[in-house]
Structure 1
Amino acid sequence: MLTLTNRISIAIAALLVFGMPPSQALSAAALPSTPVSDQAASALRSGNLVRLRSGGPLMTVIGIEGNRVKCVWTDADNEPESAIFSIDVLQIVIPVQTRSSERLR
């Protein structure tokens, strides 16, 4: 039986996979990102997109406690994963805005 936390993580991961148009999901590696500074860390919120400074998948923040950040993502087999990272190893990913006509395609 899955715990409530696992169920929430799976739901968020599913929203990420199915809620993002395929062109954006496939181009996630090209999104601009910035290291998490002290100022940005205070602005970091659940729902923010982040990536490890060393690279890796696009992840969604689902919780923050002190300098520890819980993130969820999907692996290569589209299986949901989650882990807790030190805020120092993350960078915020800034989504690229698209025109409304491009979102309708």
Structure 2
Amino acid sequence: VKDKEGGTLTLSSGEWPDIDYIPEFKQGQIVSATHDSKGNVMIILEEVDRRSFEDYRENIKKLFPEEPYEMQADDSLFYEGKNTKGERVSVQYFINDNSLIISGKRESE
């Protein structure tokens, strides 16, 4: 799908999107993946076990250590951080249904 500015929006399911700044999460089932030509991305996964999420979150913390925000609630775990290039990633795991949302955003140039 093309937008007014000539950018593209790609919608898919089952496959990791073509992005270079977020490491692939290899566990679980990708339900939905969207990304645009500006580097914004959202990936929704199901059937993710908590241990795999926690390992992935630790890796994300190392890669995106700036301006960290972390939260733990009764039903979810969340981390957001930024890297030195200004790319921002958030990961949110929902304990009750073992789902995960990974979002990424590149700073506007």
Common topology (TM > 0.5): no
Higher strand share: 2
**TM-score when normalising by structure 2:** 0.30
Structure with more relative contact order (C-alpha pairs < 8 Å, separation 6 or more): 1
TM superposition score normalised by structure 1: 0.31
